[in-house]
Amino acid sequence: MNRTLTHRVFLGLVQSPLLVILIVMVVLVEMATGSQMSWGNLRGVLLDVAVIGIVAVPVGMLLIAGYIDLSVGSTLAIGGVCAALAVKHTESVWLGLGAALLVGALVGAINGLLVAVIGLSSLITTLGVLTAGRGVAQLMSPLPVSGFTPEFAFFGAGAVLGVPVPAVIAGVLFLFAGVFLIMTPRGRHVYALGVNREAAYLSGISTRLIPFALYMVSGACAGLAGALTAARLNSAPAGQLGAGFELAVLTAVLIGGIALTGGEGTMFGVLVGVLFMGLLTNSLTLLGVATFWQNVVSGLALVSAIIISLGTQRLRGKLLTLEAKRVATP
């Protein structure tokens, strides 16, 4: 009995190696600094990574389906500028958030049309939209928009029961996406697309509608992230808003175990990846590591995560085979 329990626990740890690394890192940094686990520090980490988490949810689902979205950085900028202009001229927070969601969904619809319907490369298409979108954001507002209402600022840096509002939104999205992928037929179709698109098509799965919808959700989430970022900064500089954001999201998603080839990964893994990147940066800051070394460590963390992911995939396969043999043996 104990042997069986030990085997299952080990199998679970192998399936989530990053979680083990994250726990060890937090314990060591807490021992060294004595401040990482304070609520004030953790609240700052949640606030920093929340917008990444909001966008990592749909980007992770797209990668599972075998697609990629590199345009989220400029979509965030467009959404932030639209929200800022709407709030500035109307003083309506909900109109600003709605404008960000709508314009983000529109950018996502353009990506979906070009990639899912017409059949262009998702990598090249979204890279082109990334570049064009940045120009559109700057055309909309050449100068930074600033000076918003306190109600709008609440969505960027306010808290609900002590938890930052963006983190609450991210948590709801992670929960919804996790349930969707695991417990609904459409969620299983997302995995099927990533495993074998042609086989999915022959099985009657909509190989156009699903990725089109995912691109719209990705754009809407990026637009919302732009509004929350502008609210937090109390400014929406089109040229800098969301610069490099797509790389931060992609890094968190890949470290979280989503395969670039599609068909594999979970929302729990993405959540761990987002928290890992946030706590890694926070740990290095608490330890007094210079910013340029933090960039080096973050890059090495991504490469290491990919290597560990490949190794654990093979080990997991062997362990699952042994588990199947053990269950089959009377």
Q: What is the pLDDT along the chain (330 residues), one digit of tens a residue?
A: 445 445 444 444 444 677 777 888 888 888 888 877 888 888 989 999 999 999 999 999 999 999 999 999 999 999 999 999 999 888 889 999 999 999 999 999 999 999 999 999 999 999 999 999 999 999 998 888 888 888 899 998 888 888 999 999 999 999 999 999 989 999 999 999 998 888 988 888 888 999 999 999 999 999 999 999 999 999 889 888 888 899 889 888 988 888 787 888 889 989 998 999 899 888 888 888 887 887 887 778 767 766 766 666 666 666 556 666 665 565
Residue 192: Cβ-neighbour burial (10 angstroms; 0-12, 13-18, 19+): buried
Residue-level pLDDT at 216: 97
The CB density around residue 268, as the number of other CB atoms within 10 Å, is: 16
Instruction: Tell me the HSE value of 17 on the side-chain side, using a 13 A CA sphere.
Output: 16
CATH 1.10.3470 is the classification of domain 17-328: yes
Residue-level pLDDT at 82: 95
Strands 163-164, 159-160: parallel, antiparallel or unpaired by DSSP?
antiparallel
